[in-house]
C-alpha cells in the first residue's frame, strides 16, 4: 500500500508540474460571451407611457422636490408623481405609447424583411412583444 501511495504521489506531482495552474476567469466574463450580440441596426423598443411622461416632466419633478441630479431619488419621486397624475393625462400618454409601439412593430417587420432578404438572422425568437 505504501509503495502504491508513493508512486501515485510521484505521478500527481509530475502532472501538476506539466499542467501548471489553469487561468481563472470570472463568471461574468463567461456569461457575457454567451450573450447574443445586439444588432445596432435593429429598431429600438418604444418607451412606455410612464417613461414618456417622465421624459417630458423631468425638470418639473426635479424642481418641485429640490433634486439636483437625476438618480434613484428622482426615480422614487417621479413614480410617486405618476401615481397621482390624472387619468386623462395618463390616457394621453398611453395613446402616445400605443402609437410608438405600432410604429415600432412596423419598423421591426421592415427590419426583419430586410435581414431575411440579406440572408441574415434577424433574432427570430423575439416576437416583438414587450415583457411587463
Q: Tell me: the pLDDT tens digits for 36-66?
A: 777 888 899 999 999 999 999 999 988 988 8
What pLDDT, in 10s, does the model give residues 69-113?
A: 888 989 999 999 999 999 999 999 999 999 999 999 999 999 999
Cell 466574463: give the residue.
Answer: 29
Cell 487561468: give the residue.
Answer: 23
Q: What share of the chain is helix, strand, coil (3-state, %, to 5)?
A: 65, 0, 35
C-alpha cell at 104: 415600432
The reported pLDDT for the residue numbered 132 is: 41
Q: Which residue has the higher pLDDT, 118 or 45?
A: 45
Residue 121 has pLDDT above 60, yes or no: no
Give the largest Cα separation in the chain, rounded.
Answer: 88
The reported pLDDT for the residue numbered 130 is: 47
The reported pLDDT for the residue numbered 116 is: 86
For residues 105 and 32, give the distance between their C-alpha atoms in angstroms, rounded to a whole number: 28
Give the pLDDT band (50/70/90) at residue 24.
low
DSSP symbols for 86-125? -HHHHHHHHHHHHHHHHHHHHHHHHHHHHHHHHT----TT
Amino acid at each position: 500500500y505504501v509503495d502504491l501511495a508513493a508512486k501515485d504521489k510521484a505521478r500527481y506531482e509530475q502532472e501538476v508540474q506539466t499542467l501548471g495552474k489553469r487561468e481563472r476567469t470570472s463568471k461574468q466574463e463567461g456569461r457575457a460571451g454567451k450573450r447574443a450580440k445586439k444588432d445596432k441596426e435593429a429598431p429600438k423598443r418604444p418607451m412606455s407611457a410612464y417613461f414618456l411622461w417622465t421624459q417630458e416632466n423631468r425638470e418639473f419633478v426635479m424642481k418641485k422636490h429640490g433634486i439636483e441630479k437625476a438618480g434613484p431619488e428622482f426615480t422614487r419621486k417621479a413614480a410617486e408623481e405618476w401615481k397621482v397624475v390624472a387619468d386623462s393625462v395618463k390616457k394621453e400618454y398611453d395613446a402616445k405609447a400605443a402609437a410608438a409601439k405600432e410604429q415600432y412593430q412596423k419598423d421591426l417587420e421592415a427590419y426583419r424583411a430586410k435581414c431575411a432578404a440579406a440572408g441574415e438572422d434577424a433574432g427570430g425568437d423575439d416576437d416583438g412583444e414587450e415583457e411587463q
